[in-house]
Amino acid sequence: MCDRNVREGILVGCGNPLLDISAIVPLEFLKKYAMKEDDAILAEERHMPIYQELVDGFQAEFLAGGSVQNSLRIAQWILGQPKVAVFFGCVGQDKYADILAEKARSAGLDVHYQVKKDVPTGTCAVLITGTHRSLCANLAAANNFTIDHLEEPGNKALVDNALYYYISGFFLTVNPPSIMKVAATAHANQRPFLMNLSAPFISQFYMAPLLAVLPYVDIIFGNEAEAQAFAEAQKWPSEDLREIGKRLVAMDKLNPSRPRIAILTQGCDPVLLIQQDSVQEFPVTKLAVHEIVDTNGAGDAFVGGFLSQFVQGKSLDVCIRCGNYAAGHIIKNPGCTYNGKPEFVE
């Protein structure tokens, strides 16, 4: 559990607060919307009926989602001390926003939403087909986040007061200036700035803002598909994850005294920790099929577990083991939710 050296507001994150609408659907449902089994996309006009259809035609579950908010909720759960993490994102003024805020606050997360009255809170369809899940995010209000929210005196104080920063690649589709601002604050004060590749489509379509922020990034997270999408967009010759990781950490960095670290997860295969020329593996305890509820949120939970230790100044080894612990726990529960008290032992 928590050490004395963590304090309120030590960690700040920005992202898209989304309410997940999750249901088991037949493959035809994906086909109808031209979606792939293990994908993550942003909703286009043609996807808009999905959400109502899930609610009307399937046993849809509503779960707190949004990648960064998931990670911070999990970090809070493990820390067991409220308000260590602060979250910024944009919601509407509606029932979904109330649900999200309630779930986040009951997890101990200090949420400071920007509220847009005329736009609904964002949702993410989680379409489960067997062991696969396909995500379709309708960012809605989340897409309206503006940098002036971070410039409000109270919020600015929270950003300045933090010692660690975490933002998803997903947020690059929303407001790169806010990301650059937080990254610059981290850099000016020599504080770690952590990011996530988030989804293949980020590298495919948002490479320019990703490359703009990368020099600030001290630790970059991703899974196999995301790392490979990044490599492909960079036209790197190799698909080998270790090779990709080494190239990723070698890319330009503003603070060379703290070399970049890449942490790549690969499902039940070992997590790779890549630092300069070294690649270390951290094994994952495989779960039996009957123990798996859904892997939705596994990557986010991994980051949450990692952050819970990182903000206590623990070694990368402990951080990664806690990441694996948290992911393993979340897989045994629906969506990115937990059950009972954390049982991580260092």
Residue ranges in contact with Na ion by CB under 5 A:
294, 296-297, 330
> 3-class SS at 257?
coil
Instruction: Please select the residue that binds ligand AP5; options are 91, 319, 331, 342, rule is CB under 6 A.
Output: 331
20: annotated active-site residue: no
Q: Rounded to the nearest whole angstrom, what is the least distance from the CB of residue 195 to ligand AP5 in the complex?
A: 13
Q: How far apart are CA 49 and CA 47, in angstroms?
A: 6
Q: How far apart are CA 324 and CA 59, in angstroms?
A: 30
Q: Rounded to the nearest whole angstrom, what is the least distance from the CB of residue 168 to ligand AP5 in the complex?
A: 6
216 interacts with ligand AP5 by CB under 6 A: no
Q: Rounded to the nearest whole angstrom, what is the least distance from the CB of residue 339 to ligand AP5 in the complex?
A: 16
Q: Rounded to the nearest whole angstrom, what is the least distance from the CB of residue 322 to Na ion in the complex?
A: 17
Identify which of residues 108 and 169 has a Cβ nearer to ligand AP5 in the complex.
169
Q: Where would I find the H helices in 2-138?
A: 27-32, 50-57, 67-79, 95-106
Identify which of residues 124 and 158 has a Cβ nearer to ligand AP5 in the complex.
124
267 interacts with ligand AP5 by CB under 6 A: yes
Distances (CA, A) of 309 to 41, 63, 265: 31, 25, 17
CB atoms inside a 10 Å sphere around CB 282: 17
Instruction: Please select the residue that binds ligand AP5; options are 223, 228, 309, 337, rule is CB under 6 A.
Output: 223
C-beta nearest to ligand AP5: residue: 299
121 interacts with ligand AP5 by CB under 6 A: no
Are 185 and 14 spatial neighbours (Cβ–Cβ below 8 Å)?
no
Instruction: Please select the residue that binds ligand AP5; options are 120, 200, 245, 297, rule is CB under 6 A.
Output: 297
Q: How far apart are CA 114 and CA 150, in angstroms?
A: 9
The entry of ligand AP5, Na ion, none that residue 16 binds, CB within 5 to 8 Å by partner kind: ligand AP5
The torsion angle over the Cα atoms of residues 207, 209, 215 and 221, rounded to 10 degrees, is -60
295 interacts with ligand AP5 by CB under 6 A: yes
265 interacts with ligand AP5 by CB under 6 A: yes
User: What are the φ and ψ backbone dihedral angles of 192, each rounded to 5 degrees?
Assistant: -65, 135
Q: How far apart are CA 89 and CA 175, in angstroms?
A: 10
Which residues are marked as active site? 300
Residues that bind ligand AP5 (CB under 6 A): 15-16, 18, 20, 40, 42, 65-67, 70, 124, 133, 135, 137, 170, 223, 265-268, 271, 284, 286-287, 295-300, 302, 324, 327-328, 331, 336
